[in-house]
Amino acid sequence: MYPHFPLEFAFAFAPRLAFWHSDLLVPLDQLRRYAERFERLNDRQIVAVEPARPFKDRLLRLNNHRAWELIGCVSRGGSHDNFMTGCGWWACFYLHPMHHGHAERQRKVRHYWDHGTGIMYWRNHCGGDLDLIPEMEVDPGHFTRLRRRATYKVAGHDDWRRDLGNELSVNFSLRAVCASMGLGEIYEQTLHHAQR
């Protein structure tokens, strides 16, 4: 299932929903801190990653500021509120089914097309309670072509057609990247249990 779908409708089935990219490894101590942070979420809050923005983008005041679903958590109330305000996780959020009128759609059209722009719009224009994790906190464990193009062997699409399972296994040794993130023991235990 496309991950943005359960994020968009979390209010319909859970009091809160934590999430993270499949290509993200987080050291256990850091993951525990995030879990505690997510447990303390109030019922109107969302936590997501704030991507690092190049200086040029900030200088030119480009409207490409978004919340990123790299890791985070949505509360039932936050999920419901951003849905009802016509914002949300989907790309081209100005096409959200809950937008309210032509003038609002025209304001939204001027914003960046990618996922999570609606969440940032929700915070900046609709009073949404968005707590942001700086990307640099999690970037060392994000094993993605987006930040590691020079070492990636697999070329291909940069969209929903990507075969992440193939990309990750061709480009990285799971044992090595787990060890680099302090997760080597967990990897070995998991491997041992899987072989039983």
pLDDT of residue 60 exceeding 60, the answer is no
- Quick one: pLDDT at residue 59? 58
pLDDT tens digits, one per residue of 123-175: 999 999 999 999 999 999 998 766 555 555 555 555 666 666 666 677 788 89
Question: CA 58 to CA 56: how far, in whole Å?
Answer: 5
**How large is the average pLDDT for residues 80-99?**
90
Locate the domains of the chain by residue range.
4-138, 143-195
Evaluate whether 86 touches 98 at the Cβ level (below 8 Å): yes
Residue 25, φ and ψ in degrees, nearest 5: -115, 135
Strands 68-75 and 16-20: antiparallel
Q: Which helix (H) or strand (E) holds 124?
A: helix 117-126
Across the chain, what does the average pLDDT equal? 85
The share of the chain scoring above pLDDT 90, in percent, equals 51
pLDDT of residue 39 exceeding 80, the answer is yes
**How large is the average pLDDT for residues 47-53?**
90
- Quick one: pLDDT at residue 178? 92
- Quick one: pLDDT at residue 44? 95
Is 100 exposed, middle or buried, given 0-12, 13-18 or 19+ CB atoms closer than 10 A? exposed
- Quick one: pLDDT at residue 159? 61
Buried b (16+ CB within 10 A) or exposed e, 36-66: eebeebeebbbbbbbbeeeeeeeeeeeeebb
- Quick one: pLDDT at residue 146? 61
- Quick one: pLDDT at residue 179? 94
pLDDT of residue 183 exceeding 90, the answer is yes
- Quick one: pLDDT at residue 69? 93
